[in-house]
Chains A and B, each alone.
Chain A
Amino acid sequence: MPKVEIRSESCKACEYCVKTCPNKVLALGAESNSKGYHYVVPANPDACIGCKLCAIVCPDAAIEVYK
């Protein structure tokens, strides 16, 4: 099953990945990182198809994709 991992400390909650994901896998989480950003979490992980689009648009290289 494809999956994404978020480097929570690098995420700045810009939401580019949230908007880009075709399957609505990602959402801003309830927890915040040490800089105060509500980092993204895979809220709907089973829907991930490993297309990498989220990682491609992430400015901060915070997303790792596995397939």
Chain B
Amino acid sequence: MEKIYTRPSYIREGATSGFCPGCMHSTVHKLVGEVLDELGIVNKTVTVWGVGCCILGAGYTTHDSFGSPHGRACAVASAYKRTNPDEIVYTYQGDGDLASIGIAETIYAANRGENFTVIFINNSTYGMTGGQMAPTTLVGQKATTAPFGRDPKQHGYPVHVCELLATLKAPYYLERVTCLDAPNVLKAKKAIKKAFQNQIDGKGFSLVEIMSNCPTNWGMAPLETLEFMKENTLKEFPLGVYRDKDAE
């Protein structure tokens, strides 16, 4: 009998992630690990963590990584990749980090077509700090800072990062995926693999937005978040490829 599924080498032996039960941050860490193993690049990959629950990945994974100031991961990764072009560099950021405090750094790195990979976890909340409203919080969705739900008159509308970046010429690849069931997890993995392969091939800025959950701050059991996402999140944030220069 042969082992046909095991954890990637990127996860520390015996480690348990610090993420809450059912949090898709965990799933995405596993997928990144599987992709790095399959591409044989785990030993030359460097992560630039944003600020947020993402940083819980630092103790969970084996390879080199460093933190960046809140929102600045794309600026840090731009500098690191330009000075270490032989290494594989990716940022791992939440929606508060990437699309709020860091939206300028994100847009300009994308606009320069920087040759690194962005793994963007959009859980429509500031998870780590306890559930404040994020740029991506859905209309009507409650947050500690919007106790009656997001009201467009007061708070504006959710920000769609893939659509926004797709107005720029330089980005090479932009795709939005999710991890809410097995077929979608496999699609998410394929997108993450492509985003790393693009970097290996020197093609330029590649971003995968993973629509995710936050059971803890949404106040739901993990299985309930999956239903909520199908009914709400994915209607506001349609999955799909927003830019793929390979296909043009």
Contacts and interface: CB of A to CB of B under 8 A. Distances in A.
A53 B184 CA distance: 11
A66 B1 contact: yes
Interface in A23-67: 35, 37, 50, 52-53, 55-61, 63-67
Interface in B13-57: 14, 16-17, 19-27, 30, 33
B6 interface: yes
Interface of A, helix, strand, loop or mixed by DSSP? loop
B60 to A, nearest CB: 10
Interface residues of A, number: 29
Given A14-B222, A16-B223, A20-B182, A55 B19 contact: no
B6 to A, nearest CB: 5
Contact of A64 (B3, B24, B185): B3
A2 B25 CA distance: 29
B16 A10 contact: yes
A56 B182 contact: yes
A61 B7 contact: yes
A67 B4 contact: yes
A23 B16 CA distance: 27
Contacts of B185: 56-57
A65 B30 contact: no
Given A16-B222, A16-B223, A19-B223, A59 B4 contact: no
Nearest to B7: A61
A12 B21 CA distance: 5
A53 B16 contact: no
A67 B2 contact: yes
B4 A50 contact: yes
B16 to A, nearest CB: 5
Given A16-B222, A59-B24, A65 B186 contact: no
17 contacts: A9-B14, A9-B16, A10-B16, A12-B20, A12-B21, A14-B222, A15-B222, A16-B226, A59-B25, A61-B8, A61-B11, A61-B26, A65-B4, A65-B5, A66-B2, A67-B2, A67-B4
